[in-house]
A and B are shown apart, each in its own frame.
Chain A
Amino acid sequence: NAGVMQNPRHLVRRRGQEARLRCSPMKGHSHVYWYRQLPEEGLKFMVYLQKENIIDESGMPKERFSAEFPKEGPSILRIQQVVRGDSAAYFCASSPPSRDEQYFGPGTRLTVT
């Protein structure tokens, strides 16, 4: 059973460009979570989605950030007009419907130049 897949692993964007991060959950998992990690820090929750629904976006910045988990295809975290402060590691996790354990992907390291 393949684990959580994320791509790209590394992404470099200039200020003002858009960043798109993709996440494919583990097979059978219908819940997806996005977290952000700065160096030397723990993970910070951003958003929790189920297929076609955003369940909790309390950790998402109000502007420039959006997330979706369509009926078909991966979950997408989209950052518009990136700024240097967006540079971080972004992790996706998935969980099965009735369990609380979350399984993480390898992350996407975003660098804004």
Chain B
Amino acid sequence: GQQLNQSPQSMFIQEGEDVSMNCTSSSIFNTWLWYKQDPGEGPVLLIALYKAGELTSNGRLTAQFGITRKDSFLNISASIPSDVGIYFCAGHRGNNRKLIWGLGTSLAVNP
């Protein structure tokens, strides 16, 4: 099935560092959503993006909807240990309400 290309696959950083991850597609998307999933739990919505070029922040998190509508990135500033987890991008194409997902970026933070 169709999936988004999400990179990097994993990251290991020091506490306090900034983090950047992105998602790309060969198709145009109408919405981009970023989720965080902790082990044994469901994904938690972090940021939702609806317009090309939109830049949205949620605390230390910032995400942008790419101008071409084929990509999005998520930045985390000044990482802390509780940022550890798997971050997923997901999006909608056309009028279809089903979400298409990336494979996730696994983030590890060294205190």
CB distance from A95 to the nearest CB of B (A): 8
Please determine whether A55 and B102 come into contact, CB atoms closer than 8 angstroms: no
Please determine whether A43 and B43 come into contact, CB atoms closer than 8 angstroms: yes
Please determine whether B99 and A102 come into contact, CB atoms closer than 8 angstroms: yes
Distance, CA A100 to CA B48, complexed state (A):
9
- Contacting B at CB under 8 A, from A24-61, are 31, 33, 35, 41-45, 48, 55-56, 58-59
Please determine whether A58 and B88 come into contact, CB atoms closer than 8 angstroms: no
| Interface residues contributed by chain A, number (CB under 8 Å) | 27
The stretch from B13-21, B59-67, B74-82, B90-98 touching chain A is B90-98
Question: What are the residues of chain B within 8 A of A56 when measuring CB–CB?
Answer: 96-98
Please report whether the interface of chain B is mostly helix, strand, loop or mixed according to DSSP.
Answer: loop
Question: What are the residues of chain A within 8 A of B31 when measuring CB–CB?
Answer: 100
Please determine whether A104 and B44 come into contact, CB atoms closer than 8 angstroms: yes
CB distance from A54 to the nearest CB of B (A): 12
- Contacting B at CB under 8 A, from A79-104, are 91, 93, 95, 100-104
Given A58-B98, A102-B33; A91-B3 close (CB under 8 Å): no
Q: Which B residues are within 8 Å of any A CB, using their own CB?
A: 1, 3, 6, 30-31, 33, 35, 40-45, 48, 50, 88, 90, 92, 96-104
